[in-house]
Amino acid sequence: MKDSSDNVDNPDWLGAIRWTADGLVPAIAQDAATGDILMMAWMNRESLRLTAEEGHAVYWSRSRGKLWRKGETSGHQQVVKDIRLDCDEDVILLKVEQKGGIACHTGRRSCFYRTLKEGRWTSVEPVIKDPDAIYGGN
């Protein structure tokens, strides 16, 4: 995805985004080939700028209070093919190539692996790889 430096260095494109009061914007990762929604995470200005510069998804971890390069621990990087902004200018869509086929920390392809059936959340996608094998369980 690596954007040209002229586009990335120009701060106007970041200024067009309607950031939350905390300086964040929700970002949806979508499989560029299939259209499947893989996950949602938060981005701040720096993470979005780095994503555009590096061509790999970089998010902001609210729980850790720091940048989070997708795949830094698991190896399941997201190569960014396209970055889009919605009509309200308050949601980012990343079209990605998901390395390793796993986007979710539970070891599944997508974080959206549960569906509502008869008043209950039911898992409908299998675990591809045990999370302990990915992250080194205790």
Instruction: Tell me which residue has tokens 């002229």.
Output: 6
DSSP states of 29-52 as a string?
EEETTT--EEEEEEE-HHHHHHHH
Q: How long, in residues, is the chain?
A: 138
Q: What is the pLDDT of residues 91-127, one digit of tens each?
A: 999 999 999 999 999 999 999 999 999 999 999 999 9
Q: What is the pLDDT of residues 47-74, one digit of tens each?
A: 999 999 999 999 999 999 999 999 998 9
Question: Which residues have C-beta within 8 Å of that of residue 97, sequence separation ≥ 6?
Answer: 31, 32, 33, 78, 79, 81
Q: What is the pLDDT of residues 8-28, one digit of tens each?
A: 555 689 999 999 999 999 999
Q: Which of 4-13, 37-46, 52-61, 80-89 has the lowest mean pLDDT?
A: 4-13
CB 14 within 8 A of CB 48: yes
